[in-house]
Amino acid sequence: MSKYDVIVLGSGPGGYVTAIRSSQLGFKTAIIEKENLGGVCLNWGCIPTKALLKSAEVFDYLKHAEDYGLKLEKADKDFSAVIKRSRNVADGMSKGVQFLMKKNKIDVIYGFGKLKTGKKIEVTDKDNKKTTYEADNIIVATGARSRELPNLKQDGKTVIGYREAMSMEKQPKKMIVVGSGAIGVEFAHFYNSMGTDVTIVEFLPNLVPLEDEDVSKQFERSVKKAGIKVMTNSSVESVEKSGDKVKAKVKTKKGEETLEADVVLSAVGIKTNIENIGLEELGIKTEKDKIVVNDFYQTNVKGIYAIGDVVHGPALAHVASAEGIICVEKIKGMNVQPLDYGNIPACTYATPEIASVGMTEKQAKEAGYDIKVGKFPFSASGKAKAAGKSDGFVKVIFDAKYGEWLGCHMIGAGVTDMIAEAVLGRKLETTGHEVLKTVHPHPTMSEAVMEAVADAYDEVIHL
């Protein structure tokens, strides 16, 4: 029986990062993966969707070439080639993880892993052969998959999840997207850009409902302007196939409507992959579909840890990576601090992009803060105007008494690359006055952060 210091179960951005850090710390490390290295993020999530969205962005530029003084006879797309490019990008990234495993001398074990007593994992490979491995420390990083609603069962053809949405052979003429979180609105934007007639159905009053209300309202205006139909305060009650079409009954405040489409994309959240991996047999505690862990990701069973989507916290790739590093450094005995879940950036890569960190204005008020709020629209930004991307704004929230940066919310072109300033500033306990007196380059989109802070302190220049 092979014996390791650390075995990681699952090779997504939580698992493979954990394995690499483990090896760097001198642990003999193995990683178990039932499908492709890189997990959902690299193969079916974060990376290939961004490749699709880049194609959509380029296509949008071509369609609006005249806005930039350029002439183009006709802009068209090859849908299958767009899908193929996305898959090639994903394949390349997965091969990159393979290289990193070899570079860091990590043993890769392919198959389905199941926890056994005595800090062992039984791995069943594609030929149904079972092999048992042992480790002093086992880290569960099995991630999650698309969640199914009882009245919205996925069949992979008429009702689909994110996997099918990014690998469709034929572009649908009409699509219904159920749910307006990041996955839902990113696919809605992509397919709309490609020419599909898209309707978003959202149960809550606002699109991207976890965002600051001002951001949600701006986003809804922008997607409607782009031609996407929006139904909020609505729910899909049932879906039935009608020939080669699908009919969805949608409950709204005004009554029930029937929508017809080629396909329904279910984007109503995720379901953790914690079934049949041995949790019950070992008595590992779970709660609300998540594995219960302490601040350093130790379960109630000694030597068994869990990170990423399977534990409580934001189901984000960068969170899983951070958790894994903290977990394995703690195992090593290093002096590490628990992850600050109040300072995790969230990004949505539709058009316009959305990025946020910290409290919304509503949350800050509910927490009892006396606040200063500043807002700077990209319509007043020279760089945004020059780029033809003036939709959106930067909004900042500060504690009026001490100047603490409570929250930052952005919507506009490239804001997912800008939010790190706020994350770092909050980590370093930067005050509003310090941001205001930090010289930002001109002309850039990022100077909108400084201008928003200036607005909060009644010192705004360009508005």
Q: Is 229 annotated as a binding residue?
A: no
Q: Is 309 annotated as a binding residue?
A: yes
Which amino acid appears at position 456 of this protein? A
For residue 90, give the 3-state DSSP assignment: helix
Q: Is 179 annotated as a binding residue?
A: yes
Using a 10 angstrom Cβ sphere, with 0-12 exposed, 13-18 middle and 19 or more buried, the burial of residue 81 is: exposed
Per-residue tokens: 82: 């767009």
Q: Is 368 annotated as a binding residue?
A: no
Residue 39 has a pLDDT of 87
Whole-angstrom distance, CA of residue 435 vs CA of residue 61 = 34
Q: Is 180 annotated as a binding residue?
A: yes
Is residue 13 one of the residues assigned to a domain?
yes
CA distance readout (Å), 428 to 323, 347, 418: 20, 21, 17
Per-residue tokens: 188: 């809605």
- Name the CA dihedral angle for 399, 403, 407, 408, rounded to a multiple of 10 degrees: 140
Residue 1 has a pLDDT of 67
Residues 138 and 229 in one domain: no
Q: Cβ atoms within 10 A of the Cβ of 367, count?
A: 11
Q: Which domain holds residue 334?
A: 2-146+271-341
Residue 73 has a pLDDT of 87
Is residue 153 one of the residues assigned to a domain?
no
Whole-angstrom distance, CA of residue 433 vs CA of residue 60 = 39
For residue 33, give the 3-state DSSP assignment: strand
Q: Is 333 annotated as a binding residue?
A: no
Residue 243 has a pLDDT of 83
Domain CATH for 231: 3.50.50.60
Single residue among 341, 370, 402 that ends a domain in this structure: 341
Residues 125 and 73 in one domain: yes
Residues 142 and 278 in one domain: yes
Is residue 34 one of the residues assigned to a domain?
yes
Single residue among 206, 239, 268 that ends a domain in this structure: 268
Single residue among 313, 341, 369 that ends a domain in this structure: 341
Whole-angstrom distance, CA of residue 228 vs CA of residue 198 = 5
Residues 325 and 236 in one domain: no
Using a 10 angstrom Cβ sphere, with 0-12 exposed, 13-18 middle and 19 or more buried, the burial of residue 305 is: buried
CA distance readout (Å), 208 to 190, 328, 353: 16, 34, 11
Mean pLDDT, 10 residues at a time, over the chain (463 residues)? Answer: 93 96 98 92 89 95 94 92 94 93 97 96 95 97 92 90 91 96 96 97 96 97 96 94 90 93 94 96 96 98 97 95 98 97 97 97 97 97 95 97 97 97 97 95 96 96 86
Q: Is 111 annotated as a binding residue?
A: no
Residues 248 and 299 in one domain: no
Strand pairing class (197-201; 229-231): parallel
Residues 7 and 140 in one domain: yes
Is residue 450 one of the residues assigned to a domain?
yes
Closest CA to 210 of 183, 170, 242: 183
Residue 242 has a pLDDT of 82
Residues 233 and 328 in one domain: no
Is residue 386 one of the residues assigned to a domain?
yes
Residue 192 has a pLDDT of 97
Q: Indicate which residues carry an active-site annotation.
A: 442
Q: How many domains does the chain have?
A: 3
Residues 231 and 331 in one domain: no
Q: Is 118 annotated as a binding residue?
A: no
Residues 325 and 310 in one domain: yes
Whole-angstrom distance, CA of residue 412 vs CA of residue 109 = 42
pTM: 0.94
Closest CA to 326 of 337, 310, 312, 317: 337
Residue 12 has a pLDDT of 94
User: At 267, phi and psi to the nearest 5?
Assistant: -130, 55
**Residue ranges in 195-304 assigned as alpha helix (H):** 213-225, 279-282
Q: Cβ atoms within 10 A of the Cβ of 290, count?
A: 18
Per-residue tokens: 27: 């642990």
Residues 30 and 139 in one domain: yes
